[in-house]
Amino acid sequence: MRQVVLDTETTGISAESGHRVIEIGVVEILDRRLSGNDFQTYLNPERKIDPATIP
């Protein structure tokens, strides 16, 4: 079985407040094992990131 796992990071949780996606990550899983195929990219949110959201 093939599965694709998608992860996103954002500047916050409210699109209405102008929060945006800043990172996208994807990994492929084949037969419950990582296939080695992955993708990761950062996006410019075109806004400041609140320091409280950075661990």
pLDDT band at 49 (very low <50, low <70, confident <90, very high): confident
Q: Phi, psi at residue 47, to the nearest 5°? A: -160, 160
**Residues of the chain above pLDDT 70, percent:** 96
Question: Which pTM value belongs to this model?
Answer: 0.79
Eight-class DSSP state of 48: P
Residues 38 and 26: beta-carbon distance below 8 Å: yes
Other residues' Cβ atoms within 10 Å of the Cβ of residue 46: 7
Neighbour-count burial for 4-36, b at 16+ CB within 10 Å, e otherwise: eeeeeebbeeeeeeebeebeeeebeeeeeeeee
What is the domain-level CATH number for residue 48? 3.30.420.10
- Number of separate domains in the chain: 1
- Res 14: pLDDT: 87
User: Does residue 50 surpass a pLDDT of 80?
Assistant: no
Domain that holds residue 22: 2-53
